[in-house]
Amino acid sequence: MNDLQIANSVAPRPIQEIAYRLNVPPDTLELYGKYKAKLPIELIDEEKVQKGNLILVTAITPTPAGEGKTTVTIGLNDGLNRLGKASVAVIREPSLGPVFGMKGGAAGGGWSQVIPMEDINLHFTGDFHAIEKANNLLSALIDNNIQSKTRNLGIDPRTVLWKRSMDMNDRALRNVVVGLGGKTGGIPRETGFNITAASEVMAILCMSKSLEDLKERFSKIFIGDRFDGTPVFASDLKAEGAMATLMKEAIKPNLVQTLGHNPAILHGGPFANIAQGTNSIIATKMGLSLGDFVVTEAGFGSDLGAEKFFNIKCRQAGLSPKAVVVVATIRALKYHGGKPLKELTSEDVFALENGFPNLQRHLDSVRSFGIPVVVAVNVFNSDTEAEKKRILDYCREIGVPAALSEGWAKGGEGCEGLGQLVVEAAESCTNRFSPTYALEDTVQEKIKKVAQTIYGASDVVLSQTAQSQLKKIEKLGLSQIPICIAKTQKSLSDNEKLIGRPQEFTITIREFEIAAGAGFLIPIAGEILRMPGLPETPSAESVDIDEKGVISGLF
């Protein structure tokens, strides 16, 4: 059975039943069909938030297929519930782009999925659409003002950094010229589209603590400059009220269930290579308010999602995890050990051992935050007994608790051992986490600390462009906010070809983006695309629906 068939083989329980177990009265739910509901923000209880056990799931450097972080998150959540813990999985919503591109769905896999899988991978409750509309309303207001005769703010079209967004892998929209067609068509200018998951509106949603905060952040969005060099913000266009109105429902987290009928909250979905890579602060707090454990994930390896999870999200929201799970796969370790991608399914203990330094580096990074660590070995059918034994032995040697995670094949039952280790780790944790840098550090210091402590780099170089942008950032008074480095997920370095554990490398910051509303700066290391393209054979070609509404090809 493929993922879609497995998902459809389990009859979901009415979402009211799942909510009831979390002590959420049915009347406070806003239903979207029978199996999805929005939770009102008023259910957040700050006292419970502080007491709860927040568990972060991160990973080693992934192969292109991903290491199954979401699968482990969902399986672990079901495992914890089987152990009698009131646990809630809190994860990101999938983007439509990959669904019709290469990767397929993003709601877990095998027997560790959230359902209704089809809805979640299609429009779900419309959050991405709302984000896109809020984003693009601001764009329309900008171009309308540039064209305006009576109310022109003097925006210099060449300086406008704000782009439109679309939740689609569409490379042709990456760089466009708009406003063509003569006088009635606007003022021509170069611009582009970001995929919605990479938009600042998405980042803002995930950083906001309330509707008021959301609106305030919208008002602070930096658009570009006037011809006289002064900055223009979204508030200058009176955009924030209408943008927040469009987000009225999108700000509320979504409740669904796992295949084990345990609660899962999905909310927000910024990518981790080009944005902060973790679900909304509101959703995480909601999970902690309703359960005793929250299992959450942050995208790609710990150098991307986890670093941002701690230094941006936890710091801003006043959260502190009780344990971190690092997901490793035997496949990926062999890949980092030098085995070619196509041969990863054949046994190779030597290559596996050669991959250990990558795991070691991620463990070191995560330990730098001062929180207990557990390794989850996400099991694939092709893994051999000898390989499984070797990785578990290695973890014992270096003194890290480790367990096989068999959520894909067995659901929650396959994650009970992992769950037990996580509970023990959480119980042992008495610290709050320590961040990698202080907000008062200069921007360059911040980048350097992340590059050295987390990536294992020797130094950081800023391009000429980046250096002059830094002056602009200082002028705007934005030096004392966190950084959200955009970097390839394929390597600990900024060069995707350096797999394993790269040594003696420097990180080059090509340029900065300013996400003043989200409240962070985006130093861009290397070439990172904020609008993906479709592959030669898009998966859209095999997605189909029959006359009865039965979908195929979506997995």
Provide the annotated active-site residues. Answer: 69, 71, 92, 103, 272, 300, 380, 408
Instruction: Name the minimum Å distance from CB 461 to a copy of itself.
Output: 24
Residue 360's Cβ-count burial label (10 Å; 0-12, 13-18, 19+) is middle
Query: CA angle, 426 as apex, 425 and 430 as ends, to 5°?
Result: 105
Q: How far is the CB of 2 from a copy of itself (least distance, A)?
A: 16
Q: Is 153 in the site for a copy of itself (CB under 8 A)?
A: no
Is 64 labelled a binding residue? yes
506 is in an annotated binding site: no
Residue closer to a copy of itself by CB (options 63, 208) is: 208
Residue 278 Cβ vs a copy of itself, minimum distance, rounded to whole Å:
24
Q: Length of the chain in residues, anyone?
A: 555
- Of 56, 94, 59, the residue nearest 335 (C-alpha): 59
Please name which of 112, 86, 120, 115 lies closest in space to residue 12, comparing C-alpha atoms: 115
Q: Total residues contacting a copy of itself (rule CB under 8 A)?
A: 80
Residues 501-540 that bind a copy of itself (CB under 8 A): 533-534, 536-538, 540
**Using CB under 8 A, which of the segments 176-184, 273-281, 404-412, 515-523 binds a copy of itself?**
176-184
Q: Which of 3, 67, 93, 143 binds a copy of itself (CB under 8 A)?
A: 143
Smallest separation (angstroms) from a copy of itself to the CB of 463: 19
- By CB under 8 A, is residue 161 in contact with a copy of itself? no
Q: Does 11 bind a copy of itself (CB under 8 A)?
A: no
Q: What is the Cα 526 distance to its own chain's centre?
A: 20
Whether the Cβ atoms of residue 482 and residue 514 lie closer than 8 Å to each other: no
Q: What is the spatial distance between Cα 160 and Cα 345, in angstroms, rounded to a whole number?
A: 48
d(CA 303, CA 421): 23
Q: Which residues in 2-34 are b (16+ Cβ under 10 Å) and which e?
A: ebbebbbebebeebbebbebbebeeeebeebee
Whether 222 contacts 161, CB under 8 Å: yes
Site string for a copy of itself, 303-332 (x = CB under 8 A): ------------------------------
Residue 384 structure tokens: 């051999």
Among 186, 357, 370, 526, binds a copy of itself (CB under 8 A): 186
Q: Which of 10, 65, 102, 137 binds a copy of itself (CB under 8 A)?
A: 137
Answer yes or no whether residue 183 interacts with a copy of itself by CB under 8 A. Answer: no
Minimum CB–partner distance for residue 510 and a copy of itself (Å)? 15
Binders in 476-495 for a copy of itself, by CB under 8 A:
none
Q: Which of residues 191 and 311 has its CB atom nearest to a copy of itself in the complex? A: 191
Residue showing tokens 């900024």: 494
Measured distance CA(193)–CA(173) in Å, rounded: 5
Q: Is 148 in the site for a copy of itself (CB under 8 A)?
A: yes
Residue 321, marked binder: no
Q: Which is nearer to a copy of itself, 125 or 358 (CB)?
A: 125
Is 419 a known ligand-binding residue? no
The reply on whether position 393 binds a copy of itself by CB under 8 A is: no
- Is 252 a known ligand-binding residue? no
Site for a copy of itself in 29-88 (CB under 8 A): 30-34
Which residue among 5, 23, 210, 458 contacts a copy of itself (CB under 8 A)?
210
Contacting a copy of itself within 217-256 (CB under 8 A)? 237-239, 241-242, 244-246, 248-249
Q: Does 440 bind a copy of itself (CB under 8 A)?
A: no
Give how far Cα 490 sits from Cα of 278, 303, 530, Å. Answer: 18, 10, 16
Identify the burial level of 231 via C-beta atoms within 10 angstroms of its C-beta, where 0-12 means exposed, 13-18 middle and 19 or more buried: middle
Site residues for a copy of itself, 94-133, by CB under 8 A, read 96, 100, 118, 122-123, 126, 129-130, 133
Dihedral over alpha carbons 307, 313, 318, 321 (to 10 degrees):
-50
H-run or E-run covering 231: strand 231-233
Position 340: which residue type? P
Neighbours of 438 (CB within 10 A): 11
Q: Supply 469's token pair.
A: 């942008």
Annotated binding site: 63-70
